[in-house]
Amino acid sequence: MNGPLPTAMERLDAMIAMPGAALASAAVRLADELLAIGEAALESWVRSRGDTPTEAKSEGFRLLALHRQGARGEPSFNACRETCRELVYHRNCVLAADDAADVAKTLRLGAMVTRHLVLFIDGKLENAGLGEFCCSSRPVRQRDAAIAAAHP
């Protein structure tokens, strides 16, 4: 990965490789850490657009508020909307689960969901057109065309 989020990726890979017992014994802390990694990735995206990351919460989660902020004026960023919601869902499942094996599996999947969010944002930071064509139904070259039109 050449982007700005390699540390997060290393941490997530390490978490995914942790034994189930180690995951289960620190479940709530690790679930919160996943949210924090997701928030940090979203903050990178928001800052890259010249904005200050919000401290507000949406539906009780800053992660979701940051996603909304990141998608404002950038509908292709909705490509990670469901990924953000899945991350919140997995965190809630960890808090609600009793069985250690379930907790470990949920945390591991939560880490994989977070990894997808980080990978997507890293891809967007390298190439802002990612998700344009499909998720916002816009031409991939729209930005290039707008720049060319503004600077003939």
Partner 1 sequence: MKHQRVAYYPGCALEGTGHAYNRSTKAVGKALGLDLVELKNWNCCGAMEVKNVDPKLQTYLSARNLSIAEDMGFDTVMAPCNGCYHNLKKAEYDLANDEASREVTGRLSSKAGHKTYEAGKVETIHALDWIKDSVGEEGLKTRIKGGLKGLKIANYYGCMYTRPRHIFPEKDKGPGSESTYKPHYMDDLLAAAGAEIVEYPLKTACCGGAHTLSDSDTSTRLVLNLLTTAEACGAEVIATECPTCHTGLEMHQMRAEKVFGQKTTVKILYFTQLLGMALGLSARKVGVHENMSESQDLLYERGIV
Give the residues lining the site for partner 1 (CB under 8 A).
Answer: 1, 75, 78-80, 82-83, 85-86, 89-90, 105, 108-109, 112-113, 115-116, 119-120, 122-123, 126-127, 129-141
What are the DSSP calls for the chain, one per residue? --SS-HHHHHHHHHHHHS-HHHHHHTHHHHHHHHHHHHHHHHHHHHHHTT-PPP---BTTBHHHHHHHHHHTT-GGGGGGHHHHHHHHHHHHHHHH---HHHHHHHHHHHHHHHHHHHHHHHHHHH-TTTTHHHHS---TTHHHHHHHHH--
Minimum Å gap between C-beta 121 and partner 1 is 10
Question: Which residue lies nearer to partner 1 by CB, 55 or 110?
Answer: 110
Question: Which residue lies nearer to partner 1 by CB, 62 or 90?
Answer: 90
Question: Which residue lies nearer to partner 1 by CB, 51 or 144?
Answer: 144
